[in-house]
Amino acid sequence: MDVSEWQTDRKQTRQIMVGNVAVGGGAPVTVQSMTITKTADVDGTLQQIYALAAAGCDIVRCTCNEAAAAEGLAQIVPRSPIPVIADIHHQYKMALAAMEAGVHGLRLNPGNIRKPEHIKAVASEARDRGIPIRIGVNAGSLDPALYDKYGGPTPEAMVESAIREMAYFHEVDFDQMKISVKASSVPLMVEAYRQLSAVTDVPLHLGVTEAGPPPAGLIKATAGIATLLLEGIGDTIRYSLTADPVEEARAGRQLLEALGLRERKNVDLIACPSCGRAEVDVIDVATRAMAAFGERQLPLQVAVMGCVVNGPGEAREADIGIAAGNKRGHLFVKGRNIAVVPESEMVEALVEWAEFINEHGTEAAIAKADTALAEREAAKDRSALLDTQGADVNHSSEKIVEIRKTISS
């Protein structure tokens, strides 16, 4: 059987939208990862999200385990280049607060939030807001009653946990969900997903939990995820490695490319979603940049950012990028400002420097540039923007007030 044949033989699931990313229903298999920063560290978390996006991550998950994390999400979500999912632990009110912050999805563990009234309260709010939820079953944290019933973490116990959670969702007419049944044991994980796939058309999120550090963790995760993908099971994946999460995103992308489930790209262009501080039409600049790169064989990560205040820092893992500020384009390489060009020449300059980097490398580009001048000019434009627009153009403070009301109610 060739690749095209087994691709068309994939299990057909219903489709949900996580932000602007489709999951299931014939959509391309997506790559997910999770930040390891404190979510309250807004700048650090955004830098990691941009690095993940540059590495091929389609959806990112951030922990929401305390009020400060929920407040951080209110500032992170409008600046993230990819949809943000809040990972909820034991407190259902954190899920409500995360939705107030504007997240694109939630992950709930049925083994941690077990009261039906709490589960249904979250599902009802998610239904009203149009926010999907992942039922994240984990073999290591099932409801104790299921351990007793099945004598341990069996595939049957994991599937029953997921089905039970779905029943609570259905009671409040909520159906925008995906499911994972993860385990650190590859055979257990594979069998649980096989059984689950046989009884539902809900999209499935694949992963081997706590796979460990590379290279063993890569092998373990690939063994489970690839086995299921080759059987036509799975709509989105995450490598859970004891490593920099960027390695997870790269591994996921490379696996999908190796299996023929995602097309290989030349330039990997990422762009911010635009916000109140954007100085240019980011969509227009990104579209023109993609057209300008065309079929050039430049295997680089390229970033187009709406403002010079946050852009270079958030996309510092990109090989080359450009950010707008005060009618000028600020070029940066690995987060370092290297040149300032007129706004009308942003795209041309981006392509010119990308070709130089492809031939000579990022270090040569930095050495060639007058970085002192470029950084001085960027600092001036950052200061001017903050003076005219203020520090909270996304009105995050208003969301934080509502988050505090939600948690304290």
Reading the block at residue 282, the tokens are 């980011």
State whether the Cα torsion 110-158-243-262 is positive or negative: negative
Indicate whether 234 pLDDT > 70.
yes
Among the residue ranges 87-101, 253-267, 329-343, the one predicted with the least confidence is 253-267
pLDDT exceeds cutoff 80 at 82: yes
Q: Is the pLDDT of residue 7 over 70?
A: no
Structure tokens at 85: 């999912």
| pLDDT at residue 97, rounded to an integer | 98
pLDDT at 385: 82
C-alpha distances in Å from residue 88, one per residue of 39, 66, 178, 213, 317: 12, 9, 15, 24, 28
Task: Find all residues with CB under 8 Å of 91, minimum gap 6, and list them.
Answer: 65, 113
Q: Is the pLDDT of residue 3 over 60?
A: no
pLDDT in tens, 355-387: 999 999 999 999 999 999 999 999 998 888 888
Higher pLDDT, 316 or 190: 190
pLDDT at 267: 85
Spatial distance between the Cα atoms of 262 and 237, rounded to a whole number of angstroms: 13
CATH architecture of 3-258: Alpha-Beta Barrel (3.20)
Residue 207 in contact with residue 233, Cβ under 8 Å? Answer: no
Average of pLDDT values for 268-281?
79
Comparing 44-48, 171-175, 268-272, the range with the smallest average pLDDT is: 268-272
- pLDDT of res. 277: 67
pLDDT at residue 152 in the model: 94
Lowest mean pLDDT among 10-19, 100-109, 136-145, 287-296: 287-296
Residue 79: pLDDT band (50, 70, 90) is very high
3-258 and 268-389: identical CATH topology: no
Q: What are phi and psi of 322, to 5 degrees?
A: -140, 140
Residues 6+ apart with CB under 8 A from 368: 338, 356
Q: What pLDDT shows up at residue 209?
A: 95
Phi then psi for residue 153, to 5 deg, are -80, 85
∠106-216-157 over CA atoms, to 5°? 45
pLDDT at 127 over 50: yes
Q: Please report which confidence band the pLDDT of residue 263 belongs to, taking 50, 70 and 90 as the band edges.
A: confident
The reported pTM is 0.89
What pLDDT, in 10s, does the model give residues 338-350?
A: 999 998 999 999 9
For residue 110, pLDDT beyond 80: yes
Residues with Cβ within 8 Å of 292's Cβ and at least 6 positions away in sequence, in order, are 347, 348, 350, 351
In order, the DSSP letters of 379-399 are HHHHHHHHHHH-S-TT-HHHH
Residue-level pLDDT at 200: 98
Q: What pLDDT, in 10s, does the model give residues 167-188?
A: 999 999 999 999 999 999 999 9
Q: What is the pLDDT of residue 382?
A: 86
User: Domain 268-389: which CATH class?
Assistant: alpha beta
pLDDT at position 294: 83
Q: Who contacts 137 (Cβ-Cβ below 8 Å, separation ≥6)?
A: 109, 110, 111, 158, 161, 162, 165, 179, 180, 181, 182, 192
Helix, strand or coil, per DSSP, at residue 246: helix
Range among 247-256, 306-315, 393-402 rated most confident: 247-256
Largest Cα–Cα distance in the chain?
A: 69
3-state secondary structure of 171: helix
Strand partners, 87: 63, 107
What's the confidence (pLDDT) of residue 327? Answer: 84
Per DSSP, 193 falls in state H
Average pLDDT of span 129-158: 96
104 neighbors 129 (Cβ within 8 angstroms): no
Domain boundaries, the chain: 3-258, 268-389
Q: Is the pLDDT score of 2 beyond 70?
A: no
Is residue 208 pLDDT above 70, yes or no? Answer: yes
Question: Under the phi-then-psi rule, with left for phi > 0, alpha for psi from -120 to 50, and beta for the rest, what region is 306?
Answer: alpha
Tell me: pLDDT of 6 over 80: no
